[in-house]
A and B are shown apart, each in its own frame.
Chain A
Amino acid sequence: MIRALLQPHRLGLLALALALVVWAGMTLRWDWIPRYWELGLAGLWRTLWLLVLSTLIGFLLAVPLGLAQAAGPVWLAAPARWFCTVVRGTPLLLQIWLIYYGLGSLFPQYPWIRQSDLWPYLRQAWPYALLALSLSYAGYEGEVMRGAFKSVPHGQLEAARAYGFSRWSVLRRIWLPQAMARALPTLGGETVLQLKATPLVATITVIEIYSVASRVRQDTFIIYEPLLLLALVYMAIAGLIALGFRWLERRYATGLV
């Protein structure tokens, strides 16, 4: 790692990068950071939990979606395939707006919604953001899991059945773990894509890290600096996701046939 950085041309590039950073630090405006860092941290927190929760919920949905397509009867496989096609075939921005404003436009027609116990949640924006992000992740992952389930050699499943495993324990102990291990490399990439999708929820009033940067721009008219810092933050998170999945892969995906 260190040695790779010490090649002469890399040293030159590093010096250049360092010079750029110093130049950016000296000439660009960063005086807004002390005023906004608290808001920024709160935004970062919201981005992270939206990401974590939506990938978890999305993944939990993706397993049955993948299974239905890989091995389910037609009446389960066809709707699952359609769901994945629709989610993957339309822009997430449009899905978010449909779920937030589209559903919202129906509320005035049904007054009982406002009397319900769920109303305090339905009023807020984050449940819609979480729903839209989860469904989107489920759509993409359902497709990945379909492939992963199919790629587990059939002989293994048959062997397990022959050993007297029930259908459920075949799924739980053999099929699912192997499918997940095979899906891991793709899941890492998809999770980074999910991270990159989170700023879209700022358009439905959810205050996450991107919308904090927008607020800095609106308050101070400083345009590029918040965006540059934001890009660095996303790169750091993406790097952590990649590292995390590499660790998972080393742990679980070794020795696959």
Chain B
Amino acid sequence: MPEWLTQLWPGLEASAALLALEPPGWGGNLLRGAASSLIIAFGAFSLGCVIGVGGALGKLGGGPVARDLLAVYTTVVRAVPELILILLLYYAGTDLLNQALRAFGYRPIEISGLAAGIGVLGIVQGAYATEVLRGAIQSVPRGQIEAARAYGMSRVQTFRRVTFPAMLPLALPGLSNLWLIATKDTALLAIVGFSELTLETRQAASSTRAYFTFFLASGAIYLLMTLISGKVFSWIEAHFRRGQAGARA
């Protein structure tokens, strides 16, 4: 360690030792936590996108009942704090699912913390994704869809070949925002005791009483995840916007 650095910041050496990757340093724990945060965020984001596609299509082309139910879903999820949804779904969700399984004569299943975390955050993400994708689909020019139908494409084909590729560039900024929310919302799982980056940080901080060091370190990890995924998304966006200069919304 350079002399001037340690003079400038006397605690640096101790902090570096605490953050070392091998025990007794806690850096390895933080990275493991970051990995599970990323896994959950990715799972929740994917699930959210699937729900979002279904929700958007339902809101645009579904029956009146489906549309109203979807409106209730998106309104409730977007108005109630994620923390409360997570507590309700994490405990009650498992409970209800197993009661339902039992009622239909199936064996209750064991839902891992990982699956529950992905499920809960996915449901939250789904509500926002529904709105993002609905907006994007709506801004695809009607004429393109009608033309595809006139060419004899089925509804599925039209969606796959025309609507989806045309709406993707419009949806990407919203989706990239959702991904960032997903990575940060994983922190809320710390409150139900799921061991991701924030909980690992808290454990390391209270075991070593070096609160400042660990909170700053994990903030840096989150920031790194955000910045890198921001780059990835802008690259994807540039890729899908090829030849769509006019589609800039």
Contact = CB atoms under 8 A, between A and B. Distances in A.
B187 A102 contact: no
B124 to A, nearest CB: 10
Interface in A215-235: 223-224, 227-228, 230-231, 234-235
A83 interface: no
B216 interface: yes
Contact of A7 (B64, B79, B81, B210): B64
Contacts of A235: 75-76, 79-80
A230 B76 CA distance: 12
B68, B81, B187, B223 — most chain A CB neighbours (10 Å)? B81
B205 A234 contact: no
A10 interface: yes
B178 to A, nearest CB: 13
Interface stretch (B52-60, B83-91, B102-110, B241-249): B83-91
A199 B76 contact: no
A89 B185 CA distance: 11
Contact of B80 (A102, A106, A196): A196
A90 B219 contact: yes
Given A9-B68, A13-B65, A224-B92, A94 B215 contact: yes
B17 to A, nearest CB: 17
B212 A98 contact: yes
A227 B88 contact: yes
Given A9-B64, A90-B222, A94-B215, A210 B83 contact: yes
Given A105-B211, A196-B80, A13 B218 contact: no
A71 interface: no
Contacts of B84: 199, 210, 227, 230-231, 234
A10, A98, A106, A210 — most chain B CB neighbours (10 Å)? A98
Contacts of A101: 205, 211, 215
A86 interface: yes
Contacts of B219: 86, 90, 94-95, 98
Contacts of B188: 91, 93
B198 interface: yes
B153 interface: no
A228 B91 CA distance: 13
Contacts of B81: 195-199, 210, 234
B201 interface: yes
A193 to B, nearest CB: 9
A90 B219 CA distance: 6
A198 B75 CA distance: 19
Contacts of A106: 212
Contact of A90 (B88, B184, B190): B184
Contacts of B83: 199-200, 210
27 contacts: A9-B64, A10-B64, A10-B68, A12-B65, A85-B226, A86-B223, A89-B223, A90-B223, A92-B184, A92-B187, A93-B190, A94-B198, A94-B219, A97-B211, A98-B211, A98-B215, A102-B211, A104-B211, A198-B81, A199-B83, A199-B84, A200-B83, A223-B91, A224-B91, A231-B85, A234-B80, A239-B79
Interface of B: 64-65, 68-69, 75-76, 78-85, 87-88, 91-92, 180, 184-188, 190-191, 198, 201-202, 205, 209-212, 215-216, 218-219, 222-223, 226-227
